[in-house]
Amino acid sequence: MKNQTARRCWTLGAAALLTVPGFTAVAAVLTTSALDFSPTLVCSATNVGIKPLTVTIELLSPQTGEAINAPVETTLDPGFGTSNEFTLAVGFTSGYCRITTTGAARAVRAAACSKAAQNAGCQGVSDAR
């Protein structure tokens, strides 16, 4: 009887927390491995779930962990995707993608792509885990 009461109180407490303004569930974060790219790195994300979700796509430097361009944030309906792209003026470097979502990680497919030209296909691909 004592365990049932404790379990019931814990469940009610957790439910109460979820209704407190400002309390949100932890976001899911997916990352790709780093890719060498020249001149363009593209990070893309697609909602493969059944509910709309918000994604933030960041392109990061593996050397510093800092953003190499501004993040893209958008709400995606099921079946839709978006991307974030960075092009170097000259040379090559490494980069990776961090995708943060308000939904479950299993509802998002994401990848990084290294392209030699803006309208060219991918030379290297790394999917997010």
Local structure of 2: helix, strand or coil: helix
The overall average pLDDT reported for the chain is 81
Query: At 105, which helix (H) or strand (E)?
Result: none
Distance CA 67, CA 123 (A): 22
pLDDT at residue 24 is higher than 90: no
Strands (E), 6-48: 28-31, 35-37, 40-47
What is the tens place of the pLDDT at every residue in 71-125? 999 999 999 999 999 888 776 788 999 999 998 999 999 999 988 766 678 888 8
| pLDDT score recorded for residue 45 | 95
Q: What is the pLDDT of residues 53-71, one digit of tens each?
A: 999 999 998 888 899 889 9
User: How far are the Cα atoms of 38, 88, 109, 117, 126 from residue 91, in angstroms, in the given order?
Assistant: 6, 7, 29, 13, 21
Domains in the chain (CATH in brackets) are 26-127 (2.60.290)
